[in-house]
Structure 1
Amino acid sequence: MRPRSGPTVEHRVLAARLRMLRERAGVSLQAAAVALGAHPATVRRIERAETGLDAHQVRVLLERYAVPAAEAEPIMAGIAAANLPGWWHRWRDTLEPWRQEVIGIESSAALIRTWHPALVPELLRIPAYEAVLCRALTGGSRRRRDQHLELLAERRRRLAERGAALWALMPAAALHTDVGGPAVMAAQRAALEEAAGLRHLTVQVLPLDSPPHPLTGVPPLHLLRVPVAEIGDRAILEIPGARVDIIDEPAAVMDYRIRLDGACAIAPPPGSPLPPPLPSAGPEDNRNTGKP
């Protein structure tokens, strides 16, 4: 069995195929469970990739579904690879279950679209910027923060290595929120300008005077697309209060995609210069005038 660190895409694909084969054969969850000598919840967990794949159980299910040998053999041959831990396994002790699931999908996504209503989106943050946010928003030990920064760097490296497309949208307010002081913000701005020139990265910034748009008031949102038929698009919504919704229902995902498309259409086109920094307040601007 694979140590639990969130299912890989290979695991998800085999689990989805088992579900589709059961449905194609017209076999109910109850009937599949009887064949295994288990509870229907066990079959459901197998089909949702919530538990490691057991070769004996998979073979019993394939036989119950009357799957031809030519179709069953590739599934059986793929179990070992599907049970391997994901590359993020070494950080699993510092990751919430939802984040393990998201990284599992992200690691094979061909397209990642992301929106943050107040900050630079996570996958575009430089270490110094992210370190300040970690201290301010999550606290925790220095070791835990260091592990988070290591994981973020590895996610960025793998994203660039496989040439996955990242499309990020943020408001100009994100560039004026002082995270770490002028030096950190200048470095973050320079990193964004560099990112905007890379082929697989798209950066759009909504000006401060933009009118309301379809994502006004929407918390951080990520849309992930994996180029595998068995894996549908996912929408990840980071709700204030540390709650995260991972949405796979097609109509709901489409609604968020339409919202993101609408907001991107209002923003200046990709490749536009970043909004200039706000002018620094001079001594006269900071003097106490005695007025409220």
Structure 2
Amino acid sequence: MLRIILGKRLKELREGSGVRVDDAAKALRVNHLTIRRMENAQVGLKVPYVKELLRLYGVGDAEIGEFISMAEQANAPGWWYPFRDALPDWFRAYVSLETDAQVIRVYEPHYVTGLLQTRDYARAVIRAGFPNAPEEALEHRVDLRVRRQALLEQPDAPTLWVVLEEAALRRDVGGAEVMRGQMDRLIEAAGDPSITLRIVPMAAGAHPATGGHLTYFRFRERELQDIVYTEVGLTSAVYLDQRPDVVTHLEALTRVSLLAAEYVPDPQTYLMNLRKEYAR
């Protein structure tokens, strides 16, 4: 995400100084596509290249030093680097977006959303998805999911909105004991002022978000536009950042959230009653 921010700033500085892409490329003795890729965050930011471009754009030494420091930070591995073998390529961007978001809004029709899963529940879900995985590899994936939840404990934690389908809560994952523990976690989350939890009962019928899981991200930095993530089958995902697409999905999230509040105005009480069913 920091690389995206710096790429956009490089583009702003180039355009503000009146330097064309071809001229910037000549200064670095590279193809013009390299400049485009740097500005679009498609490649890492090589410090010598960044210094040369900033000088070309008339940037002062103090600002260059600050920019270089941020570029080095952007090139450093993310916290999730030790888990890279457990992250499919198409999901790595999601973890980065999640880490840097100011607002996260999730619609989840199948399971409790990852940020609110207990360790036992997460293990059962992951085991279902990877039935042949060795125990060590499975626990590695569970560790990653639990580690992601640490962002909710940070001082600048994102605001989290979660809309869960009733089916996700009634799907028995891991047995009654695991489900009771998961209900306890959701009851706790429903009382957290930084988390808005909504539940859509079966009786609510069809709604605009029934197409499948989606997550909406909003960021503090002005350079970052809102992004929507949707899953495609079992092995890929789509990241949408064009305004018409984002607005359409955000509107669907808003509508289903309002629908859920109408049918289940008190999610905490609903969850307490559901927990009793798993106690039988």
TM tier relative to shorter chain: 0.7 to 0.9
| 1:223 CA drift (Å) | 0.9
2:148 equivalent in structure 1: 155
| Greater C-alpha radius of gyration | 1
Contact 1:226 1:232 (8 Å CA) reproduced: yes
1:237-256 correspondence runs (5 A): 237-256=230-249
Q: SS state of the match for residue 137, structure 2? A: helix
Q: Residue 41 of structure 1 aligns to which amino acid in structure 2? A: L
Residues 189-235 of structure 1 show CA distances to partners (whole Å, capped at 9, x for unaligned) of 1211111011211110001100311102x221111112111122111
Aligned: 1:176 with 2:176 = no
Runs of 5+ consecutive residues of structure 1 not aligned to the other structure:
1-8, 283-292
Pick one of 109, 114, 118 that aligns with 1:117: 109
2:123 equivalent in structure 1: 131
Q: SS state of the match for residue 100, structure 2? A: coil
| 1:144 CA drift (Å) | 2.1
Q: Residue 175 of structure 2 aligns to which amino acid in structure 1? A: G
Q: Residue 230 of structure 1 aligns to which amino acid in structure 2? A: E
| 1:73 CA drift (Å) | 4.2
Pick one of 51, 62, 70 that aligns with 1:59: 51
2:85 equivalent in structure 1: 93
Q: Residue 97 of structure 1 aligns to which amino acid in structure 2? A: D
Tell me how far apart the structure 1 counterparts of residues 164 and 32 of structure 2 sit (CA, whole Å): 44
Tell me how far apart the structure 2 counterparts of residues 250 and 37 of structure 1 sit (CA, whole Å): 36
Q: SS state of the match for residue 179, structure 1? A: coil
Contact 2:108 2:163 (8 Å CA) reproduced: yes
| 1:66 CA drift (Å) | 3.4
Tell me how far apart the structure 2 counterparts of residues 222 and 247 of structure 1 sit (CA, whole Å): 10
2:180 equivalent in structure 1: 186
Contact 2:126 2:142 (8 Å CA) reproduced: no
Tell me how far apart the structure 2 counterparts of residues 56 and 170 of structure 1 sit (CA, whole Å): 48
| The 10-residue stretch of structure 1 (33-42 or 173-182) with the greater mean CA deviation from structure 2 | 33-42
Q: Residue 197 of structure 1 aligns to which amino acid in structure 2? A: G
| 1:70 CA drift (Å) | 5.6
2:28 equivalent in structure 1: 36
After TM superposition, the score normalised by the length of structure 2 is 0.88
1:260 equivalent in structure 2: 253
Q: Residue 258 of structure 2 aligns to which amino acid in structure 1? A: A
Contact 2:103 2:219 (8 Å CA) reproduced: yes
Tell me how far apart the structure 2 counterparts of residues 101 and 183 of structure 1 sit (CA, whole Å): 34
Tell me how far apart the structure 1 counterparts of residues 277 and 68 of structure 2 sit (CA, whole Å): 63
Q: Residue 50 of structure 2 aligns to which amino acid in structure 1? A: V
Q: Residue 257 of structure 1 aligns to which amino acid in structure 2? A: L
Distance 1:125 1:77, change over 3 A: closer
Q: SS state of the match for residue 186, structure 1? A: helix
1:195 equivalent in structure 2: 189
Q: Residue 173 of structure 2 aligns to which amino acid in structure 1? A: V
Pick one of 268, 274, 285 that aligns with 2:270: 274
2:227 equivalent in structure 1: 234
Q: Residue 9 of structure 2 aligns to which amino acid in structure 1? A: R
- Aligned residues between the structures: 272
Contact 1:219 1:239 (8 Å CA) reproduced: no
| 1:141 CA drift (Å) | 2.7
Contact 1:193 1:274 (8 Å CA) reproduced: no
1:164 equivalent in structure 2: 158
Tell me how far apart the structure 2 counterparts of residues 45 and 201 of structure 1 sit (CA, whole Å): 37
Tell me how far apart the structure 1 counterparts of residues 22 and 152 of structure 2 sit (CA, whole Å): 41
| 1:47 CA drift (Å) | 1.8
Contact 1:112 1:222 (8 Å CA) reproduced: yes
Contact 1:197 1:271 (8 Å CA) reproduced: no
Tell me how far apart the structure 1 counterparts of residues 191 and 277 of structure 2 sit (CA, whole Å): 25
Pick one of 14, 37, 43 that aligns with 1:22: 14
RMSD over aligned Cα atoms: 2.3
Tell me how far apart the structure 2 counterparts of residues 26 and 256 of structure 1 sit (CA, whole Å): 37
Residues 32-78 of structure 1 show CA distances to partners (whole Å, capped at 9, x for unaligned) of 22222112232222223233221210122223333455644432343
Distance 1:143 1:39, change over 3 A: farther
Q: SS state of the match for residue 260, structure 1? A: helix
| 1:250 CA drift (Å) | 2.4
After TM superposition, the score normalised by the length of structure 1 is 0.85
Contact 1:107 1:159 (8 Å CA) reproduced: no
Q: Residue 189 of structure 1 aligns to which amino acid in structure 2? A: M
